[in-house]
Amino acid sequence: MLPFGLLLLASLVCATPRPLVLWHGLGDSANAPGMKQFAEEIKQVHQGIFVHSIYIEEDLDKDRRAGFYGNVNEQIELVSEQLAAIPQLESGFDAIGFSQGGQFLRAYVERFNSPPVHNLITFGSQHFGISDIPTCGPRDFLCQIARRAVKSGVYSSWAQSNLVTAQYFRDPANLEEYYASNTFLTSINNEIAETRNETYARNFASLNKLVLVIFTKDKTVVPKESSWFASEVVVDDSGLSQQVLSDERAIIPMRQQPLYVEDWIGLRQLDERGDVIFVECDGEHMEIGPCWEELVRNYAG
């Protein structure tokens, strides 16, 4: 039998929630009031939990700008260094990604994962990219400028290195140019056969649970089913589909994607283990409402 002191220590260790890492979405910041409030609400659910909110820049306005402008591959490498330097995370953590923060966290898992992610929850994330640029509020001038720049030359070398949304723009009618110019989404989805990375699949399949949240009325993520690794149907010059339609919306669901069938990133392995959880939140993009608490209770901490 263990001495009382060791038993007490063991019970304290077991009672300590696993740390949690958050990555905000487009137009937000790690230090924004909403992100800080969400972290505090999580701490009410899991007493004593350590929560870290990822930032590119510590200044709120600069961090928000980095969500629109920057090289995503470089940002994810910076974040890997940031997480590796936090002692509380060294044994691993759970992670929640909001909107584009979700696929960025997935990129971290695939490319680095040191320290490792246990459960990954993504809310309304563009895992299979977007085929249109999100609209902006009438006074959101930073967003409006970025949107015009992306729309005018989404596959230019400058846009693919400097405009964040351009780096996960995937036009089903122009996949050839997407494959030729994109170095972020094509990479984390292992879409280019010549550069396919087995480490990505091995790391992603090491997740305990992958929780994919879709917003039922999402008009910001186009198509919204990208949150569930679905994409729009590719249409040829005659207007006829080159893929089997899943429904009237012309969406190819996750399990019909070559990425899944050939298991380019370990997603099929996760799914066949029963470790991919599909969740619907009723509302517009990032209207999380009551959805978050049950997921945090079950898959975080």
Whether a cis peptide bond, with omega within 30° of 0, leads into 115 is yes
Any idea how long the chain is?
301
Catalytic hit among 28, 63, 94, 218: 218
Q: Kind and range of the H or E element at 82? A: helix 72-84
Residue 200: closest CA among 109, 117, 128, 88: 109
Q: Cα 202–109–257 angle (5° rounding)?
A: 65
Catalytic hit among 99, 131, 187, 231: 99
246 is catalytic: no
Alpha-carbon gap, residue 249 to 252, rounded angstroms: 9
- Give the relative orientation of helices 100-111 and 198-205 as an angle to the nearest 10 degrees: 110
Q: In the beta sheet, which residues pair with residue 139?
A: none
227 is catalytic: no
Q: What is the largest CA-CA distance in the chain?
A: 77
59 is catalytic: no
Alpha-carbon gap, residue 53 to 126, rounded angstroms: 20
DSSP 8-state secondary structure symbol assigned to residue 69: B
Phi, psi dihedrals of residue 176, rounded to the nearest 5°: -60, -45
Catalytic hit among 46, 52, 118, 285: 285
Q: Among all residues, which ones are annotated catalytic?
A: 99, 218, 285
